[in-house]
Amino acid sequence: MSLNEKRRVFLKGSLAAGALGAAAGMLTPGAVLAAWNKNAFTAKSIDEAIAAADGSPVTTPSKDITIKAPDIAENGAVVPVTVVTKMKGVDSITLLVEKNSTPLSAIFHLPKGTLPDVSTRVKMGKTGDVIAVVKANGKLYSARKGVKVTIGGCGG
């Protein structure tokens, strides 16, 4: 099977890369997937990440965005988050975790007809805010929700 062959080749390649050091391994992802927004996902600050993901770091806080997340997360490795908004014409929902070393966690592109109501689970290194940025009709709106983390989900 061709997929399996590829996998073999790939495994060999990754072993070699591992021997050369992590840097060699880090070069591959960008080449594999052009669509993936590398600049946004490697940004270290929230403003940079939002700017790279949505085109501008300026967002308007909005009460129409609801972030459903626990007040206290016992396990930071699995924090369920739901973002819902009543706004119309939502193009994308961007999810960031304030205190992670690379804050951007996920971007959801919503074509017309898909409701602005998405759920996933994220890792949180420590207590901080979960930030949702909603792009609707070309404008950016944001909301925050504080989550207290008792056991970190990154490292350890």
Partner 1 sequence: MAKTIKIRAKAKNGITVVKALITHPMETGLRKNKKTGKLIPAHFIQEVVCKHNGKEVINCEWAGSVSKNPYLAFKFEGGKKDDAIELAWKDNMGNGDSISAKIR
Interacting residues toward partner 1 by CB under 8 A: 3, 6-7, 10, 14, 18, 22, 25-26, 28-29, 32-33, 35-37, 41, 77-80, 82, 97, 100-102, 104-111, 113-115, 117-123, 153-156
Residue 43 or 143: the one with the smaller Cβ distance to partner 1 is 43
Q: Name 16's Cβ contacts closer than 8 Å, sequence gap at least 6.
A: 24
Rounded Cα distance, 136 and 109, in Å: 11
CB of 92 vs partner 1, minimal distance in Å: 9
Residue 41 or 139: the one with the smaller Cβ distance to partner 1 is 41
CA-closest candidate to residue 28, choices 8, 39, 13: 13
Residue 2 or 60: the one with the smaller Cβ distance to partner 1 is 2
CB of 107 vs partner 1, minimal distance in Å: 4
CB of 141 vs partner 1, minimal distance in Å: 19
CB of 154 vs partner 1, minimal distance in Å: 6
Rounded Cα distance, 139 and 13, in Å: 43
Residue 33 or 58: the one with the smaller Cβ distance to partner 1 is 33
CA-closest candidate to residue 130, choices 86, 56, 60, 73: 73
Q: CA torsion 14→19→21→24, rounded to 10°?
A: -40
CB of 85 vs partner 1, minimal distance in Å: 12
Place of tokens 């993901």: 53
Q: For residue 112, with 0-12 CB atoms within 10 Å meaning exposed, 13-18 middle and 19 or more buried, which class applies?
A: exposed
Residue 62 or 105: the one with the smaller Cβ distance to partner 1 is 105
